[in-house]
Amino acid sequence: MKYFAIIDDKQCGPFLPQEMPAVGVRPSTYVWCKGMTDWRPAREVADICRFYRNHIYDICHPAPTPVEESTPTPPAPPVNENIPMRFRSLIPSDMEVPPLDNTEDTTQPPKTWLPLAIIATIFFFFPTGIAAIIMSQRANRQWKEGKTAESHESARKAKMLTGFSICIGLILFALLIRFL
């Protein structure tokens, strides 16, 4: 099945799932094919998820190649430091994994989460909402001080805390309704 994708705000394609990594389709990229009612993120399309899962498995478990007797076995490379400990057992020890690609544009100021953090604090869950407000203000201050990487990291934390506030608030509200 061939899929169309929205890449850089343009409709591209059609592509086979095997062609998608090369053209930049990511889990958040919207895709569509004949038979679908609307555009959906690639992570929600079963065929694409299946392809990426198999593709990652093939990368992590390469087929063994025959080794000639005269070829010495190379020493094992060092443990990949850029992989969290809990995932290192999934990667063969003789495989070098490239560092993660951070595609975030740090030349632009990070998105401000302050208005949504304030709303989350007032209407949803106070403790993590306050932390989200603090992180959002810290991101703005760090950007003004020229600390671009730190600013983007603080904005990411503000986004996460805002989401936590909203989720926890909705759960508490549902429990309140349930027990009343």
Q: Are residues 124 and 164 in the same domain?
A: yes
Q: Are residues 81 and 118 in the same domain?
A: no
Q: Are residues 9 and 88 in the same domain?
A: yes
Residue, of 68 and 176, whose pLDDT is higher: 176
Name residue 11's amino acid.
Answer: Q
Q: Is 136 left (phi over 0), alpha (psi -120 to 50) or beta?
A: alpha
Rounded to an integer, what distance in angstroms lies between the CA atom of residue 23 and that of residue 167?
34
In a domain, 54, yes or no: yes
Q: Are residues 26 and 83 in the same domain?
A: yes
pLDDT in tens, 100-132: 555 666 778 888 889 999 999 999 988 999 999
Q: Are residues 10 and 58 in the same domain?
A: yes
C-alpha pair distances (Å), 101 with each of 31, 49, 60, 79: 22, 20, 18, 19
Q: Are residues 131 and 47 in the same domain?
A: no
Domain that holds residue 28: 1-64+76-97
Q: How many domains does the chain have?
A: 2
Return the exposure string of 37-64: e unless at least 16 CB atoms fall within 10 Å of the residue's CB, then b.
eeeeebeebeebeebbeeeeeeeeeeee
Q: Are residues 89 and 1 in the same domain?
A: yes
pLDDT for 67 beyond 60:
no
Q: Are residues 90 and 119 in the same domain?
A: no
Q: How confident is the model at residue 25 (pLDDT cuts 50, 70, 90)?
A: confident
Q: Are residues 55 and 144 in the same domain?
A: no
Model-level pTM greater than 0.85?
A: no
Q: Are residues 44 and 127 in the same domain?
A: no
